[in-house]
């Protein structure tokens, strides 16, 4: 079922802005026009595409159409950008990407040079859940720990991000954290409730999980600082904890048991020069910072 280009643009704006009024302002049309275009798409699809909630959310069918809409808009933006470059004007295509917090804070930003002719919209999400944003059409590509390709996407390995379990020296002394028998009862720092790296480390070390209190610090640099300040022990990327370990500000808990997280790059299986170029830079950045797998 073919959709009109303006209708695809309207659906994308509605989901991104969250309300009919905000989408109308972005598109310079009336709220009624936005509503009429969406209804026309739903009639063509024979299904409801968006839930009229606040904010507006796509249905499962809406996710599929949204993914198609964003692919069409990307190709249109690339053509327009190429035409503008011929006329010596600059154009920028919008590229939404999903990245896990630790990659974002250690290597991913450096991998993307500012002169790609793109406007990046980065969605921070746990590496085990970034594929959900791909399935919904919210992003064009994602750093993920999932090796199985999402339908309509290609996948390639990037490398392994290595973590070490560490804590502050006074914390280690106070709670006996370097003793595997006592560590499960010591306070722990988690990134959020999706974060299972600390529990993975404990299972490898002791065969069980944590029995102590858990702090939640949902920002990569703040997480590392909370561990440094003695809030609890935590699992931190090698790049982030190397200086603290070298200076003695951090104590390793079991350096022989690093936690390895294999990362993959999944992207729309779409012929897009811009997405190809982004992929090349991500691949090179990963090769420079991650361990080969």
Which domain covers residue 244, as residue numbers?
162-259
> In 10 A of CB 154, how many CB atoms?
14
Is 3 contained in some domain? yes
What pLDDT does residue 86 have? 45
Query: Is the bond into 55 cis (omega within 30 degrees of 0)?
Result: yes
Residue written as token pair 């190809």: 276
Residue where a domain stops, chosen among 90, 110, 127: 90
Note whether 254 and 168 are same-domain residues. yes
Listed residue (255, 284, 271) closest to 71, CA to CA: 271
Enumerate residues 6+ apart whose C-beta is below 8 A from 2: 44
Is 226 contained in some domain? yes
CATH at residue 253? 3.40.190.10
CATH at residue 33? 1.10.10.10
* Distance spanning both ends of the chain, measured CA to CA: 43
pTM above 0.85, yes or no: no
Is 129 contained in some domain? no
Residue where a domain stops, chosen among 32, 62, 90: 90
Tell me if 205 sits within 8 A of 254, measured CB to CB: yes
Is 99 contained in some domain? no
What pLDDT does residue 183 have? 96
Tell me if 117 sits within 8 A of 73, measured CB to CB: no
Tell me if 95 sits within 8 A of 118, measured CB to CB: yes
Tell me if 116 sits within 8 A of 281, measured CB to CB: yes
Please state the length of the chain: 293
What pLDDT does residue 252 have? 97
Structural domain count of the chain:
2
DSSP-based three-state secondary structure for 154: strand
What are the tokens at 268? 């729309």
pLDDT along the chain (293 residues), means of 10: 87 93 93 93 90 91 90 81 52 84 93 86 88 87 94 94 97 95 96 92 93 94 96 96 96 96 93 90 96 90
d(CA 275, CA 15) in angstroms, rounded, equals 22
Is 117 contained in some domain? no
Is 135 contained in some domain? no
Tell me if 140 sits within 8 A of 152, measured CB to CB: no
d(CA 98, CA 129) in angstroms, rounded, equals 9
Is 287 contained in some domain? no
Tell me if 182 sits within 8 A of 176, measured CB to CB: yes
Is 16 contained in some domain? yes
d(CA 241, CA 55) in angstroms, rounded, equals 39
User: Distances from the Cα of 46 to the Cαs of 1, 39, 92, 248, in angstroms?
Assistant: 10, 10, 34, 64
Residue where a domain stops, chosen among 90, 112, 147: 90
């Amino acid at each position: 079922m073919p959709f009109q280009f303006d209708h695809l643009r309207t659906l994308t704006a509605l989901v991104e802005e969250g309300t009919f009024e905000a989408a109308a302002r972005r598109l310079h049309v009336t709220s009624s026009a936005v509503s009429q275009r969406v209804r026309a798409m739903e009639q063509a699809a024979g299904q409801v595409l968006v839930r009229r909630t606040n904010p507006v959310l796509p249905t499962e069918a809406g996710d599929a159409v949204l993914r198609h809409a964003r692919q069409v808009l990307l190709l249109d933006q690339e053509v327009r950008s190429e035409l503008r470059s011929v006329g010596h004007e600059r154009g920028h295509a919008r590229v939404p990407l999903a990245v896990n917090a630790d990659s974002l804070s250690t290597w991913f930003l450096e991998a993307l040079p500012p002169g790609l002719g793109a406007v990046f919209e980065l969605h921070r999400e746990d590496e085990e859940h970034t594929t959900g944003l791909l399935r919904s059409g919210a992003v064009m590509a994602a750093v993920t720990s999932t090796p199985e390709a999402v339908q309509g996407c290609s996948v390639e390995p990037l490398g392994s991000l290595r973590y070490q379990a560490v804590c502050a020296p006074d914390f280690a002394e106070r709670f006996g954290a370097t003793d595997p028998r006592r560590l499960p009862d010591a306070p722990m720092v988690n990134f959020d409730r999706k974060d299972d790296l600390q529990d993975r480390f404990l299972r490898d070390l002791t065969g069980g999980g944590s029995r102590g209190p858990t702090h939640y610090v949902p920002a990569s640099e703040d997480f590392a600082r909370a561990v440094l300040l003695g809030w609890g022990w935590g699992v931190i990327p090698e790049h982030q904890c190397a200086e603290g370990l070298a200076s003695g500000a951090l104590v390793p808990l079991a350096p022989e048991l690093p936690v390895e997280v294999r990362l993959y790059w999944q992207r729309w299986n779409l012929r897009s020069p811009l997405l190809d170029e982004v992929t090349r830079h991500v691949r090179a950045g990963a090769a420079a910072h991650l361990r080969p797998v």
